[in-house]
């Protein structure tokens, strides 16, 4: 089944403890992206990658890192999480021709206390 897989689905952590949210797609998509979704603010892009070793900042990149060493994987790293990073996170992927739209993962609900 073609899909984008995120792990974990739920995560509660403490301020300052480094964490990684994994994202993997099995559709051989070139384009991958991370979004966060907050009430009243909608979906905001954190980082995106147009191919292996090519990443760029989205609208809200502060406090996040990404890497794209393999085509299928695009992990999101929070080096020192803070409470304002409590949010619902989505990974998404698309073919090179983004005209076909994104396929989203199931989401990761992160709580930082």
Partner 1 sequence: QKEVEQNSGPLSVPEGAIASLNCTYSDRGSQSFFWYRQYSGKSPELIMSIYSNGDKEDGRFTAQLNRASQYISLLIRDSKLSDSATYLCAVLQAAGNKLTFGGGTRVLVKP
Residues at the site binding partner 1, with contacts judged by CB under 8 A: 31, 33, 35, 40-45, 48, 50, 56, 58, 90, 98-107
In order, the DSSP letters of 1-39 are: ---EEEE-SEEEE-TT--EEEEEEESS--SEEEEEEEET
CB of 53: closest distance to partner 1 in angstroms? 16
CB of 84: closest distance to partner 1 in angstroms? 19
Q: Which is nearer to partner 1, 80 or 106 (CB)?
A: 106
Q: Which is nearer to partner 1, 12 or 43 (CB)?
A: 43
Q: Which is nearer to partner 1, 73 or 103 (CB)?
A: 103
- CA distances (Å), origin 111, targets 11, 61, 79: 6, 18, 15
Rounded CA-CA distance 12/27 in Å is 30
């Amino acid at each position: 089944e073609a899909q984008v897989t995120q792990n974990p689905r739920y995560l509660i952590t403490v301020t300052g403890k480094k964490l990684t949210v994994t994202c993997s797609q099995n559709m051989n998509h070139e384009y991958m992206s991370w979004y966060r979704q907050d009430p009243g603010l909608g979906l905001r892009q954190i980082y995106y990658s147009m191919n292996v070793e090519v990443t760029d900042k989205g609208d809200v990149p502060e406090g996040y890192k990404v890497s794209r060493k393999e085509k299928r994987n695009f992990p999101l790293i929070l080096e020192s999480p803070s409470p304002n990073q409590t949010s619902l996170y989505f990974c998404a992927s698309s073919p090179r021709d983004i005209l076909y739209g994104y396929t989203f993962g199931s989401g990761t609900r992160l709580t930082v206390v």
